[in-house]
A and B are shown apart, each in its own frame.
Chain A
Amino acid sequence: MRITLWINDRQQELEVTCDEFLAETLRNNGYLSVRQGCSTTSCGLCTVWMDDKPVLSCSVLSVMANGKRITTIEGVQDEARAVAGFLVGEGAEQCGFCIPGLVMTVLAMKKDLRQPTAEQIVHYLNGNLCRCSGYMGQLRGIKKYLGVE
């Protein structure tokens, strides 16, 4: 099937199969920041925005994304660099495999919540798993990025 996606503000006509998921489509078309982790809607690695909302691209059928705006980390590089700087500052990046998904969720949270508390930050990030950092460094970095005490 032929679909139209607005990926990072660029209109793209793509050929996809009916059972192809968005994470696959994006990776096949060069958006390699989109990671496939669990592929069971649990880990958050494949987080992208669909019409500005964070979603798990491993569970969105590409045909269902037809006509929608998709944002990957390649489309928000300046903001992503700012978040990454705070994570690196806390030694929280480690293997880095989960970072693109985490950063997309942090940027979505910044738009979604005003002055979040530490508890709200943890709750918002519940769907982003990391198997090496132990979360505390990430949390410190994200709190600093958001200016939260």
Chain B
Amino acid sequence: MTKVKICGLQELEHVRAASTADAAGFVFAPSRRRISIEQAAALAAELPESVEKIGVFVNAGLDEVLEAVQKVPLSMVQLHGDETDEFIRSIPVKVVQAFSVRDIEDVKKLERSIADFVLVDAPGIDFRGGSGRTFDWSLLGGASIDPERLIVAGGLDAVNVGQAINSLAPYMVDVSSGVETEGNKDADKIKIFIKTVKGDSMQQTTGTVKETGFFGRFGGQFVPETLMKAVKELEATYTEAKDDADFQADYHKYLKEYVGREQPLTYAARLTEAWGGPKVYLKREDLNHTGAHKINNAIGQALLAIRMGKRKIVAETGAGQHGVATATICALLDLECVIFMGEEDIRRQQLNVFRMKLLGAKVESVTKGSATLKDAVNEALRYWVTNVEDTHYLIGSALGPHPFPTMVRDFQSVIGRETREQILDKEGRLPDVILACVGGGSNAIGMFHPFVEDESVRLIGVEAAGEGVDTDRHAATLTKGTEGVLHGAYMKLLQDENGQVQEAHSISAGLDYPGVGPEHVHLEDIGRVEYKAVTDEEALASVIKLSRLEGIIPALESAHAVAEAEKAAAAMGSDEILIICVSGRGDKDMATYAEKLEGLA
């Protein structure tokens, strides 16, 4: 975990607030934060042994530095001037050498440093160290500096430190003006900054999910107190089940024997020819029992519910695919099942409603709000709050409070794992581009997750642009949304300037949601995945294309990925490989297709 240094401490109150940091900095160079060796000694005495005491100097004499090291005593020395290597070697404690980085030349100087640690900062104004302006982190992109030696400073505060950590993964972050109010240190801000870096807050740090359930700054557990016990219980059960060979064996047995995995990675010869670019492969989630990827997750969670002794299931559904998958698995495992579905979606997806009923589920129509997925989630949450002691909420996408986004991702990762093996088998190499549609984000994260570490693979998530992202009728949360909290997670939302969540619009019921899973927001934030938006019209055109060229009628959701794939393919060469996740088949959308495509199809 990234360490925290609070620099420029002058008062006891602030030193105490910094006692949970990893390092405290005392400035001996000319600056408004300058203190004497005696003052520093008195302050250092108030700090726990474990906190590094770092003295900051600019072109001081060796005698002065040595005196401070001995009297304070200092455990590290930080140099901001033109100190020579010889000077550095004469210092008996660890040395941090600081560099103001403006351009590539500065980066080269920093690479040559012999100090134990190098500190990078924005160019100074008030004294040679620490200007408080934000450093252009991208400059360090190509530097060959071991992150374990790197300390980052310059304009950091609780809001931007997460980004600094995500992009550089430094050994330590150094803050001074970012924990001040009107030029003076602020004990509350110091505490918030430390908590922010050390987790236990929105601004959780590294790219992987921690116990509190954050992906970068996104995720968390924003639920009413009544649900906290259930959420924690699920977290504990899942943590344990994940590593339990019996549980995994059981889960995989159902995937194989019941869902029919593994699914093929089909080479799409005619699509490849028609697009005249890369070789196109289709990951065939449409072949799953019940017709979409949703069942991969439904099985995993139903087995967990049984493990927790809960035999009642509540779920929401948009397109009805998740509802059908849940109803199916509840029939198979003899669980009681209630599904909330928006009235508007019930109208659009009649066939799936009937399937759920036939499978023995109770389908509750939600007439509130936009009567679509968001409102169905609200009602499912209310139902869960009321019946939490014996009911599991089987959420249908990589959404909701921790551990749902992680757990759903893990259950859906079978998509990406199979794809990876299959493409290596067929082509002997990784693909160049992978696309998947993004509603809440479960098929996409399941497809992407096993490839996230492979930098050569371009990952593209495709949202619904509805009638266009510049109209107010779309569901392009990543493209157009802003940060906020809904349904248990800090993520991106379509909302107005007062924090009221807006209705989403897409012809595809499964993409019609004004939020998006927190891990996607993080992957966008760190620039690992690109997110594009495709209109209703473009998606419908792709339905026809895939049907006519490959004999595969895709779900409307999946057709969004196909439409964007065609655009991506236009810029690709014939030696490249593109994979589309066909998340589901079009049976459920036949009424819409008949209505919209009459005369064409």
Please indicate whether A and B come from the same complex rather than being unrelated chains: no
